[in-house]
Amino acid sequence: MQSDSQINRPTITTNEVVRPTLVEVDLSRLADNYRAIQEKVAPALMMPVLKANAYGHGLVDVGHLMESLGADYIGVAVLEEGILLREQGIQTPILVLGGIFGNQVPFFLKYDLTITASSIEKLWQIEEISEQLDLKAKVHLKIDTGMERIGVHYYNAEELLEASVTCKHLDVEGIFSHFANSDAADLRHARLQIERFEEVLSFYEKHDLQPPRMRHMANSGAILQLPEANYDIVRPGLVLYGVYPSPESSRTIDVSPALSWKSRVVYFKVIKPGHPVGYGSTWETDHFVRAVTIPVGYGDGYFRAMSHKAQVVIRGKRYPVVGRISMDQIVVNIEWDSAYNDDEVLLIGEMDDESVTAEDLAEWAGTIPYEILTNINTRVPRVYVRS
């Protein structure tokens, strides 16, 4: 009997084994979107937001692209995202936009990450730890002008600003807020937020002080609709990836989706009448149909809520997904058309004259494009191309 060490096993590398279900990211389109936004907002600087795995596009690869394009800053949501970018060689300044805990401050300092100070207590905490470590922390002050998440309320902000100018171990280089409704057709609340932010900023003029060199507020919706909110630097998120933040927002910048989600036919069958498909037997045909199985499911982020609604493109034609979406597989009814094993299946993207968009999936799932893109699981490989 042979031992394990005697068995001749083939050597398998990651490059040779790629799931038929994958995400393809077009770096050329992403770069074009970046430049289009940059041209629109100039002379404001650019802080592309790469949180949530760069909206599903791949944090590290998109980070390297943004650095190569000369991004002035990178925005992320959590400390770990910033650390990963640093460990992968990204040297561009990085702002962690989310709330922090005191025991995280040494890591911000170690990895040269900029901290969001969202209250006077957190400001003093950052100052104290920076003094203990004999280091200087880069800080942006967060002002809540109408979002009610983190940040000091605009009507209580003066105490935070007063404290910030006395901190000797902080470089308070920024002050910012965030819009709740900048992608809406009705921009009254967004403009009220701008007024509140301006009210806070007036503190510096009243006290004959230089304001922080980076005032920022504009997210994707504001970049498209509220040029008065550009200030010193803007934070493009969803629009950077070629998807508009809502059906109501103006299309004042021409961008294209950079992400395609693809799979391949793994099985072909003929289904007889009266033979239901999938868990719960929720769909059956009253006539013979051809059907194909695709290796993707809610375990990949292809939401179960899209069952009986979703459509895919095969050979340039849309077909419905039938039966309940499983964790790892879906079934597609092609009626009496032809499809073959290994045929490409488009889940998001363009093929010939047909397309499926992130907005389509959002409508079928009863959600928003943000959730569709950020929920494409990391077990789905990302492949990078330049068109």
Q: Name the strand (E) or helix (H) holding 194.
A: helix 188-206
Of 75, 54, 53, the C-alpha closest to 235 is: 75
Q: Is 279 one of the annotated active-site residues of the chain?
A: yes
* Tokens describing residue 113: 């990450």
Of 34, 40, 51, 244, which is the active-site residue?
Answer: 51
Q: Are 271 and 288 in contact (CB under 8 A)?
A: yes
**Beta strand residue intervals within 123-162, DSSP E:** 137-144, 152-153
Q: Are 57 and 258 in contact (CB under 8 A)?
A: yes
Tokens 């007036």 -> residue: 202
SS3 of residue 6 by DSSP: helix
Distance, C-alpha 145 to centroid of its chain: 23
φ/ψ bin of 114: left (φ > 0), alpha (ψ from -120 to 50), beta (otherwise): beta
Concatenated DSSP letters of 7-68:
S-PPP--TTT---SSEEEEEHHHHHHHHHHHHHHHTTSEE--B-HHHHHTT-HHHHHHHHHH
Burial 184-209 (b: 16+ CB within 10 A, else e): beebeebeebbebbeebbebbeeeee
Of 155, 267, 269, 279, which is the active-site residue?
Answer: 279
Q: Is 51 one of the annotated active-site residues of the chain?
A: yes
* Tokens describing residue 170: 């902080």
Burial 210-231 (b: 16+ CB within 10 A, else e): ebbebbbbbbbbbbbbbeebbb
- What are the residue numbers of the active site? 51, 279
